[in-house]
Structure formats: C-alpha cells, structure tokens
C-alpha cells in the first residue's frame, strides 16, 4: 500500500526526495510544515495552507485556479530559471493526471 502523505498538494512526490526520513517525513505527515519552512521563516507552506486549510482540497490539481499566482511564484531557490519553469510544467501535468486517475493510482505509478 502506498502512503498518501507522500503526495504533496503542489504536485511533488516526497518518495523521491533526498530529505525524506532525514529532515522530513513527507508533506502530508508534516501537515504542510516541512523542514524548509523554517529556513524562509514561515510556519506552513503557503500552497498547503491555501489548498488544505483554506479551500479544503486534497491537492492543487482540483482547484479551479490552477495555476494561481502563488503556485507560479513559490520557488525552490536552488533551481535555475530553466529548472523552475520545467518543474512548474511537470507539476501541473502531474496534478492534472492525479485529478483524473486518483491519488492512489498516481502514487503507485510514482513509486
């Protein structure tokens, strides 16, 4: 059985993250408060907060506003402009696919 807590609201899959089980248990397990939020001095990831806490959605892929300004602007500072653009497109495609096939099937494909 796959762990649904490894499917982030933003379209990433925590199962391939180098920080999983080192600094983080996965976005769902951390309830949107992964290790990196402390580094930018916020309590909770803005996308998680908007999606889960405000809109009560499972992920951004089922939000009518995807891609919103927040989705397009929240950026891993270690990525180049080209890497960031590629990441945005990949995550949007993954979220659309996840909306169609469901999180469980999406996670099975990712793992």
pLDDT of 111 strictly over 90: no
Q: pLDDT grade, residue 83 (50/70/90)?
A: very high
Q: Where are the alpha helices (DSSP H) in 4-48?
A: 27-30, 36-39, 46-48
Q: Count the domains in the chain.
A: 1
How does pLDDT run across 9-41, given as a tens digit for each residue?
999 999 999 999 999 999 999 999 999 999 889
How does pLDDT run across 38-66, given as a tens digit for each residue?
988 999 999 999 999 999 999 999 999 99
Structural domain span for residue 48 = 4-110
Distance CA 82, CA 72 (A): 14
Distance CA 81, CA 43 (A): 26
């Amino acid at each position: 059985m796959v762990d649904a807590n490894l499917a982030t609201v933003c379209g990433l899959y925590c199962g391939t993250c180098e920080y999983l089980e080192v600094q983080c248990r996965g976005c769902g397990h951390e309830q949107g408060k992964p290790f990196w939020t402390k580094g930018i001095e916020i309590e909770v990831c803005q996308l998680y907060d908007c999606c889960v806490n405000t809109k009560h959605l499972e992920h951004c892929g089922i939000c009518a506003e995807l891609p919103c300004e927040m989705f397009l602007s929240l950026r891993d500072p270690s990525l180049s402009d080209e890497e960031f653009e590629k990441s945005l497109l990949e995550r949007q495609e993954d979220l659309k696919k996840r909306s169609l096939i469901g999180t469980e099937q999406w996670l099975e494909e990712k793992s």
